[in-house]
Structure 1
């Protein structure tokens, strides 16, 4: 009797960091552990070549967006997306631009099949992110003291694209504040929010 070989269903978490918020910083680290415990493969991206003084300089920011899009495509080009049953993108700050961009790019170019479910976790997204976001493609977490993004504007954009938005009180762009214990609580609560969507 011939044995039927069952295909192993694989899952992948792709981590898109920020400029100074690497994949080893607390939020991305613990979200990565959460998915690793569910047997997800983990792909950590990294970005280089940013100019100093990005904030409030639109020319430098536009250069940074182009770098992120280019480096994201380069780092993900060899992945066979159709090997996976489920893919999650967790992104932070400027990494949210890379995540939204590559998701839309892969859909437009039909690189992924229609059966593959990709969901996005947008941590502290930038306004630029919403130039690429597709409807109902994930959710947003942002602090009400974010110094890089106007959280009210981000929430309106999230609503426009049917993305649930979670506002973290007294949290800055790193989703923390000056009180270390409060910051630890924020990390805990953010990871719990992420867990509730799995």
Structure 2
């Protein structure tokens, strides 16, 4: 048995794959023997005024990139996604008709339809001060679908607490330990 494993990193608009939460996710999975693919949409970032248009363009771009990889050869596929990347990761799994395990970091409203009990979701992580998605709506969805949710008290969309470096390093360690 080959036991091939891959982790795909889906960044946010202003949170690239080399930012701490995603960098360490990739690093952690690589140390476990996973191949790593970090998606990058820098070439699309400034071309769209509306988030919805940007997401649609990113979906097409990422679909083409991932179709170039034969994901059917992998025994374990993990998608780690942040913000807008969570909507793209959920959509890609369905579009490619594959089974991926998900780590959703700060999902947005467009991601809610992918947070379902029939999906293999390792964890959803969000901050209580995230301005892009109401924490209560996310909490209700996760409870209804029996999905593990980690809420970070006082953290915003970047899963950081403003002005507290020690707290942010502690949060990074805590969040990465859930992967």
Q: Give me the TM-score of the superposition, normalised by structure 2.
A: 0.90
Match of 1:124 among 101, 106, 109: 106
SS in 1 for 2:178: helix
* Other-structure match for 2:67: 77
Question: 1:53 and 1:42 mapped to 2: Cα distance?
Answer: 28
* Other-structure match for 1:95: 85
Residues 137-181 of structure 1 show CA distances to partners (whole Å, capped at 9, x for unaligned) of: 202100111122211111222233332111011111111112011
Match of 1:45 among 28, 31, 39: 39
Does the 8 Å CA contact 2:10/2:82 hold for their aligned counterparts?
yes
Q: How does 1:1-198 map to 2 (within 5 A)?
A: 7-48=1-42, 49-51=44-46, 60-107=50-97, 112=98, 117-135=99-117, 136-138=119-121, 139-177=123-161, 178-194=163-179
Question: 2:108 and 2:160 mapped to 1: Cα distance?
Answer: 17
**How far has the Cα of 1:131 moved from its partner?**
2.9
Which stretch shows the higher mean deviation, 183-192 or 72-81?
72-81
Question: 1:70 and 1:161 mapped to 2: Cα distance?
Answer: 28
Question: 2:48 and 2:138 mapped to 1: Cα distance?
Answer: 22
Unaligned 5+ runs, structure 1:
1-6, 55-59
Which stretch shows the higher mean deviation, 64-73 or 131-140?
131-140
SS in 2 for 1:122: strand
* Other-structure match for 1:4: none
Residues 26-45 of structure 1 show CA distances to partners (whole Å, capped at 9, x for unaligned) of: 00111111111101000000
* Other-structure match for 1:3: none
Q: Give me the TM-score of the superposition, normalised by structure 1.
A: 0.82
Unaligned 5+ runs, structure 2:
none
Question: 2:142 and 2:69 mapped to 1: Cα distance?
Answer: 28
The aligned length equals 175
Question: 1:150 and 1:51 mapped to 2: Cα distance?
Answer: 27
SS in 2 for 1:182: helix
Does the 8 Å CA contact 2:115/2:147 hold for their aligned counterparts?
no
**How far has the Cα of 1:134 moved from its partner?**
4.1
Please say which structure displays the higher CA radius of gyration: 1
